[in-house]
Amino acid sequence: MSEVNFRPGISLGSYPQKQQTELTDLEQSVAHFFSKLKTAFTRRTYSQKYISRQVNKHQQALQQSSEQELTKTIQQLRNELQRKGLKKPLIFKTFAVIREAATRTLGKRHYDVQLFGGWLMINGQLAEMETGEGKTLASTLPACTAALAGIPVHVITANDYLAARDCEIMQPLYERMGLSAASVIDGMETGPRRKSYAADIVHTTNQQITFDYLRDRIEMANDTGSLRFQYRQIQRQRPGRHEPLLLRGLCFALVDEADSVLIDEAKTPLIISKSIPNEEKSEIYSDALYLASTLFIDEDFSADHKTRVIELTEEGKD
């Protein structure tokens, strides 16, 4: 996964998101199972000692570098990451630079366990860390690395307080890495909210980002085709057109308390609606009800009570 590039562009469009599928739930489950099985047999696993050793190779030179030299190194890494993607050697070097920048700006240095946790997260794996092991600091490793590669990053936390607090605490590190960061919390107006989502790294909660994505989906309407959607995106940027979308896509997320967010809170559906003017006259509905009353089940139409789907037969269509 570390070699896949998720940033908006020609290949993924201006608003990357999970593609809709026509597979049934069973087919999706089977496909997901075999995908996980393939990953288990093909993914290389690395020990904490190995990850730390690879990062430490760059540490001595970085510790001796001046602020100007560190800035130049960060810019070179940004260019390489955006050109080559999240390649393993680049990730190790970027981790080393982030650790050095954190030492200088925050007075905190990433421990080996945090380097290992950062490696797991940037490769799409779960990292279980005990309280006090520095999960917030560890998350800056994958967050800054992905952001330097041009990938919009969402750091999802349990509540608004933690989202705002973590963003404020890590702001000096983000700025030293040449990255912008903002938090999106409850009560923000649309303008500031959209501006915050334009930052390289966004701290927010699962409910905030879910509802904002649903708002974007309402605005998108049926513009789901790649070329049509990008065309409408260009139109939205012009004055007097539709409102621009809030997010820049669903590209890369780091989820704190993943078990709570992805399992416990996922049991509660989040629903949003939008009122649409009814342009049809009442007579049309009366006529439709009258026609429906003349149809006979199993003769003019079939009804699946389990899925609540009704289909007209050939006789019913006539």
Fold type of domain 25-267: Rossmann fold (3.40.50)
* CA 150-52-126 angle, 5° bins: 60
Closest by alpha carbon to 172, among 115, 119, 108? 108
**% of the chain at pLDDT higher than 90:** 48
Q: Is 245 exposed, middle or buried (0-12, 13-18, 19+ CB in 10 A)?
A: buried
Mapped onto helix, strand or coil, the DSSP state of residue 302 is: strand
Per-residue model confidence (pLDDT) at position 241 = 57
**Backbone φ/ψ region at 308: left (φ over 0), alpha (ψ -120 to 50), beta:** left
Closest by alpha carbon to 214, among 185, 246, 251? 246
Per-residue model confidence (pLDDT) at position 2 = 42
Closest by alpha carbon to 78, among 175, 7, 149, 140? 149
Instruction: Give the tens place of pLDDT for each residue, 34-71.
Output: 777 776 666 667 889 999 999 999 988 999 999 999 99
Tokens of 260: 């709570």
Decide if 19 contacts 161 (C-beta within 8 A): no
The contacts of residue 87 (CB under 8 Å, 6+ apart) are 2, 3
Q: Which residue has the higher pLDDT, 29 or 22?
A: 29
Per-residue model confidence (pLDDT) at position 102 = 97
Across the range 74-103, mean pLDDT stands at 95
Question: In the 3-class helix/strand/coil scheme, how is 50-107 assigned residue by residue?
Answer: HHHHHHHCCHHHHHCCCHHHHHHHHHHHHHHHHHHCCCHHHHHHHHHHHHHHHHHHCC
Indicate the domain borders of the chain: 25-267, 283-317
Closest by alpha carbon to 251, among 10, 15, 78? 15
Q: Which residue has the higher pLDDT, 264 or 252?
A: 252
Across the range 261-285, mean pLDDT stands at 72
Distance of CA 189 to the CA centre of its chain: 21
* CA 3-118-76 angle, 5° bins: 60
Per-residue model confidence (pLDDT) at position 3 = 42
- Residue 76 pLDDT exceeds 90: yes
Q: How confident is the model at residue 230 (pLDDT cuts 50, 70, 90)?
A: low
- Residue 173 pLDDT exceeds 90: yes
Please state, in angstroms and as integers, the Cα–Cα distance from residue 141 to each residue in 114, 125, 201, following that order. 9, 14, 12
The contacts of residue 316 (CB under 8 Å, 6+ apart) are 295, 299, 300, 301
Q: How confident is the model at residue 314 (pLDDT cuts 50, 70, 90)?
A: confident
Per-residue model confidence (pLDDT) at position 8 = 65
- Residue 167 pLDDT exceeds 60: yes
Q: How confident is the model at residue 275 (pLDDT cuts 50, 70, 90)?
A: low
Q: How confident is the model at residue 1 (pLDDT cuts 50, 70, 90)?
A: very low
Please name the residue that has the structure tokens 């026609």: 291
Decide if 235 contacts 242 (C-beta within 8 A): yes
Lowest mean pLDDT among 44-48, 52-56, 76-80, 101-105: 44-48
Lowest mean pLDDT among 64-78, 157-171, 237-251: 237-251
Across the range 236-245, mean pLDDT stands at 65
- Residue 21 pLDDT exceeds 80: no
Provide the β-strand partners of residue 156.
Answer: 204, 255
Q: How confident is the model at residue 317 (pLDDT cuts 50, 70, 90)?
A: confident
Across the range 250-271, mean pLDDT stands at 83
Strand 301-304 relative to strand 201-205, pairing:
unpaired
Instruction: Give the tens place of pLDDT for each residue, 123-147.
Output: 988 888 887 788 999 999 999 999 9
